[in-house]
Structure 1
Amino acid sequence: MPSHGWTPYLALLSAGLIAIPIATAVSGGGDDPLEGLPPANEGAFEGGTSGTDHDAGEEGIPESLLLGGDIPTGGGASPLFGAQPFTQQMLRFEEFGTEPMPDSYPLDNTPFPMPIDSHSCPDENELENFLNQTMSPEPTRLCNDLDPNPWKTRIEEMVGRPLNNTACEGRPPGEEWAHQRWAEFPPEVCYTTVQAGARKNQGMRDSHQMHGYAVGEFAEGGLYHNTVGAPPFEGTSSGIDIRFHPNMPIQDERALWTFDGTLPPKLLMARYGETILFRHYNALPVDPSSNYGFGLHTLTTHEHNGHNPAESDGFMQSFFFPGQYYDYRWPMILAGHDSINTEASDPRAGAPDGDGGIRKIRGDYRETMSTH
């Protein structure tokens, strides 16, 4: 790299609330190739008080109340509201539950519900109805930058200007972010969730639990058949609020964000050799300061220990904005897929086929993991 002059680089720049790849000219002046590039999340704070990352913490704890000590935030210990140890059953994971890829993709689905203002998440009942629909639009190899961000109106109100070329999908457009080897690893199963503020669980995923609240400790009379250890939660998660003990207050939607916006925490059951399409919607507040001073409303999701292509790996700067979704495609392959056991003849490399047998797959069986 020359020490002076101009050097072309590819940068990711946020235009409004959509990440787009652009070619930019960067002034060379040192050994750091990133020197002079704009922040990767430029635009994420547009419309805030200062338009900088300071806005994300403006609702934080005042410095006069910071106590220092060993707590990383510098704040005081959380109040327990009289809760005593071992007086609340720990919640078990709730499965997302995968479904076969749809045969068709409805054109008349209810759109991703828009919040009433830039400080809120969508209505919880509207979110529930939205998640119960068949996936639509159809996942594609290239980013869907044709359909607009359904929250365009709310975002424009926040930033105070019209937006051009918004997109419903947060994956950047073009071949560089296309799903690699799409024809070789087409999605076989899928699931959809939203990242949303705290809301009451309405039992939407009860029917997706593999145990069906009828097997082992989840069966009637078992330790986990009652999901919280108190009536009326027999064989259901419906009605569970976002709090960690009955004595503690229900959490505000701006204070705690989860998959589906609910508890219990979520679990994905997957099989090697069965490609997954994970559609992740961002239902967080448009205003980046609506977070009680912690976190930011841009998301990226990483499937730990998976051998996934870069565009679906959820690395640090591969984020998407409120109102958008991101289609992650996980091939669920073993390491060495292209170089070891390429005929899928090793019986040690495989996964259950759902009929009592083993589906043999390519790759190194020594890379098999029961938990990612």
Structure 2
Amino acid sequence: MNRGFGSDNHAGIHPRILESLKDANVEHAPSYGTDEWTEEASRCFKNHFGPAAQTFFVFNGTAANVTALRAITRPWQSVLCADVAHINVDECGAPEQMGGFKLQPVPSIDGKISVAALEQHFIRRGDQHFSQAAVLSITQPTELGTVYTLDEMRELILWARERKLYVHIDGARLANAAVSLNKTLQEITTDLGVDVVSFGGTKNGLLMGEAVIFLNKSLAHDFKYVRKQSSQLPSKSRFIACQFIEYFKNDLWKEIASNSLERAQELYHAVREIPGLVVRTEPASNAVFAKIPQTWVKPLREKFFFYVWDENTFECRWMTSWDTQTQDITNFANAIKELSR
């Protein structure tokens, strides 16, 4: 059976992380984050994000985003984000319905927002008739597989700071950005002045589980109540914590991110010159976006599942993961070449 390119969510659990679950499944342990695994995982996050990092586990990515943003906004405030951001497009209105704030989408280019675009939406300050922007949410990597450079991030965060906005990172694939930029996780978050990060595990080899990391320690004070009220307090938290411990051990996180990035680049180079196919950009993360003829979609998806990203243009998203192999890329590229003949 061929591995598909639908999502890194489709991949199984990394064997080392699966083994960590087995190892944690012993005897009884205290619940609700008071166990030794959660304490050790918290130390791991401090090692990678800095000593001030306060980490809280939740079940999934939407919950990580919603609870993080809910904790730093009030009901009359808004969150500035890219128009293609996951919180705006793929969370079924959960941020607004559950968080109580308003999303204010900003036009993006290849998934990235700019200061110039943000400035046009930072308006009507003090106007009681208009939701007041309080947070800038940045997706890193973006939904289109691009990665903000450190200079781009500094510019955005400086703009937000000057306007007294908090900065949130949707980092479902943040490890991929760190590897792509050849930087540490701390260098692309804490050192830049980010306030809170939604950090992904599910897309990176874990069974399930995400982390909300407060880098601005003062904002974490009441988060335990926000998490509980949002039905996201794990009782057996050791089974999320143990996965993250193994994920960080011996740089497994880098190994996983490096494989998915390298395979995406292989795919890009394998298909970019095939007649009839137009690739958006060289991937800086683990996603390749390409427009293909509509007639190719069905026969390709019968062998390799993937999503049509834009049903009007038939631009498709092909995603790699921790277990994607070079042979998978070769098989997929050959199938596309057959259709192009």
TM-score bracket for the superposition, by shorter chain length: under 0.3
Larger radius of gyration: 1
The higher-RCO structure (CA 8 Å, 6+ apart) is 2
Would you tell me which structure has more helix in proportion to its own residues? 2
TM-score by length of 1: 0.24
TM-score by length of 2: 0.26
